Structure 1
């Protein structure tokens, strides 16, 4: 694990403590001051990368995904989803959600499940040689997905119709399907991305401009 990955992992531990632990106000105030001091030191020691640069994303899409809020080991917001096997035929990944991702008591919030599906479907399309931008995501929640439980996620590219790309995925807890998803994506070239994202400022929906 690199120092940057260790930092992101430590921040995940901190977020989990904030989400589920109780402590005296004095201890919380001291912790807040320590976090702010650490943030100031890190800001002073580093330089900001061009995180929203389209060229940074296009230069190496797999490297760019390391900053994903879903699967990026360098992003403390990510649980993260860990890709265990990626081939042209499909992929398998694992993820464990802590209390910070809770919806119903003891179970994962559905929005985070949808986010995982969006991420793995996109990765499956990339692995098959059919990268695209999400246009539509349909999620079926079969049963509640438990927190603090190792989950398995599978995804595969299914077909392509012109510039429309299709993929499907499923999430498992203890061998049982908890949710399934189907996604429709649009092929997007670098030139189209330049018009769509306008250097990170956005320029309309994928359905409006990418299809």
Structure 2
């Protein structure tokens, strides 16, 4: 029996986890995001922080004893955690629901328009009270990187040009919109905007280039950390 095609972008609703493994990992990732927010904004005494650090170090050592999978492809090839699309939806650096460093970009399609939303906490701060410009670019890169599937020849980022129109606020839902400009052979051209409420904070144009031998072989040169 074949697994139904997974499409996390069919609606604004966040897709449910593929398995109990990802459900638990999503919960754990949220706990770590919450811990990061508290760490960056609280003022506990030194002894309390050292006590918490000691317990977290113990947890990390216990985690490290479990069977390891390095990278999205490794999880997908394992056969127990869903296909590449499901795993990418969980582990992606910007949109991964099970990745504690991801701001949690959510996106979906309405006809030939891609829409998205994301809220950045204190861990993404650059200028006081605002999102670091590098994270703004990373969010737009991920958003457009997924939106480019509208062109049917998705590839790797060739260039990304971001115009910062206004400072992008922390702790406020940001809205994104992307459209396909054109496709020229292996090249896909995209445009996007970012808004905080009614205020446009950034706009972006991007070029994506499909590798000559396709995206499916990108994992061949991936490196695995040494134990």
TM-score (norm 2): 0.79
Does structure 2 conserve the Cα–Cα contact (< 8 Å) formed by 1:88 and 1:124? no
Does structure 1 conserve the Cα–Cα contact (< 8 Å) formed by 2:158 and 2:207? yes
1:141, 1:72 → 2: CA distance? 25
2:212, 2:91 → 1: CA distance? 21
Alignment of 1:75-154 (within 5 A): 75-83=99-107, 85-87=108-110, 89-154=112-177
2:154, 2:46 → 1: CA distance? 49
Q: CA deviation at 1:20?
A: 1.9
1:66 to 90, 93, 102: 90
Alignment of 1:1-211 (within 5 A): 2-44=23-65, 46-51=66-71, 53=73, 56=76, 60-61=84-85, 63-83=87-107, 85-87=108-110, 89-188=112-211, 194=217, 198-201=220-223
Q: CA deviation at 1:27?
A: 0.6
Q: CA deviation at 1:90?
A: 2.4
Q: Which runs of 5+ in 1 are unaligned?
A: 202-211
Q: CA deviation at 1:48?
A: 1.0
Give a deviation string over 1:88-125, Cα, whole Å, max 9, x none: 61211111111110001001100000000000101101
2:72, 2:151 → 1: CA distance? 26
Equivalent pairs counted in the alignment come to 197
Does structure 2 conserve the Cα–Cα contact (< 8 Å) formed by 1:154 and 1:169? yes
Q: CA deviation at 1:43?
A: 2.3
Give a deviation string over 1:9-44, Cα, whole Å, max 9, x none: 111111111222211000100110111112122222
TM-score (norm 1): 0.84
Aligned-CA RMSD value: 2.3
2:214, 2:203 → 1: CA distance? 33
Q: CA deviation at 1:64?
A: 1.9
Q: Secondary structure of the equivalent of 2:221? A: coil
